[in-house]
Amino acid sequence: MTTSPLFPRSSGILLHPTSLPGRYGIGDLGEWAYRFVDYLASAYQRVWQVLPLGPTSYGDSPYQCLSAFAGNPLLISFDILRSEGWLTDADLADVPNFPNERVEYGWVIPWHFELLNKAYAAFAERASAEAVAAFDAWCADNKDWLDDFCLYMALKNENNGRPWVEWPEAEALRTGTALDAAAARHAETLRGLKWIQYKFYEQWGRVKAYAASKHIRLVGDVPIFVAHDSADVWANRDQFYLDEKGNPTVVAGVPPDYFSATGQRWGNPLYRWDEMAKDGYSWWIRRIKATLATVDLVRIDHFRGFESYWEVPASEPTAIKGQWVPGPGKHFFDVVQAQLGYLPIIAEDLGVITPEVEALRDGFNLPGMKVLQFAWGDFTGKEPFLPHNHVQNCVVYSGTHDNNTSVGWFQEESTPAMRDHLHQYLDREVREINWELIQMGEASPGHTFIVPMQDLLGLDSASRQNLPGREGGNWGYRCLPHDFSHPAKDKLSHFTYIYGRALPLED
C-alpha cells in the first residue's frame, strides 16, 4: 500500500531538542528527550523530526552551523554527566534563573561551556584507562572531520570568535607549518573539544537507540549549503568558489519574487560541483553518511538547488543581479545511491519548482513536501497543496519551522479569500484552525504527516520558531513540562488511529 518500505503510512511531530523542557536554560538529551519519545509512542506517533543538530553560531540558527559533521554541545545533558561522575551536585546546585519558555542563548552559552569544560577537566584528571581508551577509539574513528573541526574552534576562540578569513593569514589559509604549530599550542584544548563532541554523540546515540526501541524513526535535516564561517569551508576551500583570501566570489540566494522585490541574498558560498564530481562527491558522501549515523531519514533543505541554483555575485548587496546555474542533477544522486544502496531522503521542494526539479525528485522516487498553510485562496481546486491533490509519495505538514504557527498564520497572515476557501472546503466555519489542518493532514493520502509541536498545542505567533530575515529572537521556543500532559495528545492519537497511521514500524 505504500510507495516504499522507507515510508510506511505514519505520522509524527517536529520538535527540535533545544525546545524540550529542562532546568538548564535549553532542551537537552537527558530525561525530557526520553520522555518525549515515550510521549510520541503513547500517541501512536512513529516519527520525530528535528532540525540540523550541529553547533550554532551567529544568530543561533541550526541552518548556519560551524560544522556539517559536529554536534551541538548545548544539547549535552548535565544530569547525565553528573551521573557519570564528571560533574557534581555542587556544580549544578546554583543554576541561573533561566526562563522556562524561551532559550536565552546569550545567557545559556557561556554558562554551559563553563560546565562542559569543568566536566572535561574531571575526565582528564580521573578517568579510568578503559574510559580513556573508548574516547581515543572514538576520536580515531571520527578523525576525518573531528581534527579539523576542533582546530577550527580552537583558532576561532583564540581570535575572539572572528570568522576564519580574519585570522592570521597562515592559519586562515592553512599554509606552511601554521597548523602544526597551532595544534601543538592548543593540544589540551583540542582534546577537551573532542571530548565534548564524544559526549554529544554518545548521548544522542542512546536517545536514537531508545527511539528505535519504541518503533520511532528520526528525521534529520541537511541544508544544501553550509556557512562560510565553518570548519567545512575552512578545511575544503578548493570545493567552493572563493578568492585567494578565502572570501566567496559568488553566493547563494533566491531571485526576486512575490514575497521580496530584491530576492534573498543568503550569503552561503557555492560549491564547485565540477571539482566535487572529480572525487565522486566524497565530501557530500561523508556528510550524508555522517547524518544517517544520527538519524534514519534526512530532509534535504532547498532540494531544487541540485537541479539549478541562484548564483549571486558576492559584491552585490541584493539577489537581484543573479543567474540560474545548473546543479549536479541526476549524476549526483546516481553516485549517492551507488554508495548507499538507497536514498532515505525527503526533498524540500517548496518555492518556485520547475518541471526539471520535479523530474529529478520523481526520477529517484523521493517524497516531496506539502504544507497545508499554503493550500488556500485558489478556488479552482487545482492547488497541489490541497489535501485532495496530495500524491501518496509525499510528506504533509501543517506548517514548518519557517512558517508562523497555524494559529498565528490564521490570525495574522491569512486573507479573507483564504478564510473563505477554508470555510467552503470544510463546508462549515473554521473552529480551531490547528485541528482543522491536523485532521486534514492525518486524512491525506500522503504517506507521512508531520505536525510541529506548537500546532499540536494550538499556540499563537509568540511561539513561532523562526521568522526568516529577522536578525534576533529566533530558535528560542521551548515546551513546558505540563505540555506533555495536554489533552491534545489524546486527540492526536484519535486522528492518527482512525486515519490508519498508527501501525508500528517493522523491525
Residues near 93 by beta carbon (within 8 Å), at least 6 away in sequence:
none
The helix/strand/coil state of 388 is: helix
Q: Extract the C-alpha cell encoding 27.
A: 532542551
Q: Extract the C-alpha cell encoding 242.
A: 572563493
Other CB atoms within 10 Å distance of the CB of residue 331: 13
Q: Is 348 a catalytic residue?
A: yes
Residue 13's φ and ψ, nearest 5 degrees, are: -125, 140
Q: Is 483 a catalytic residue?
A: no
Strand 345-347 to strand 323-326: parallel, antiparallel, or no bridges (unpaired)? unpaired
Cβ 503 vs Cβ 8: under 8 Å: yes
The helix/strand/coil state of 474 is: coil
CA–CA distance, 268 with 289 (Å, rounded to integer)? 22
Cβ 449 vs Cβ 407: under 8 Å: no
Sheet with 308-313, strands from edge to edge, namely 264-269, 250-254, 308-313, 323-326
Nearest one of 227, 226, 228, 234 to 171, comparing CA atoms: 234
**How buried is 173 (Cβ within 10 angstroms: 0-12 exposed, 13-18 middle, 19+ buried)?**
middle
Nearest one of 344, 394, 404, 345 to 374, comparing CA atoms: 404
**Active-site pick, 28, 301, 436, 442:** 301
For 6, 272, 274, 280, 389, the CA distances from 339, given in Å and listed in that order, are 17, 21, 19, 10, 34
DSSP string, 257-271: -SS-TT-EEEEEEPB
Q: Is 279 a catalytic residue?
A: no
CA–CA distance, 459 with 19 (Å, rounded to integer)? 14
**Active-site pick, 229, 296, 307, 348:** 348
Helices and strands (H, E) in the chain, number of each type = 18, 12
**Active-site pick, 378, 402, 432, 460:** 402
Nearest one of 504, 299, 465 to 394, comparing CA atoms: 299
Other CB atoms within 10 Å distance of the CB of residue 480: 11
Residue 205 host element (H or E): helix 187-213
Nearest one of 397, 350, 394, 395 to 372, comparing CA atoms: 397
CA–CA distance, 246 with 165 (Å, rounded to integer)? 6
CA–CA distance, 322 with 206 (Å, rounded to integer)? 45
DSSP string, 51-109: ---SPP-GGG-TTS-S-SSS--GGGS-HHHHHHTTSS-TTTTSS-----SSB--HHHHH
Amino acid making up residue 496: T
Active site residues: 301, 348, 402
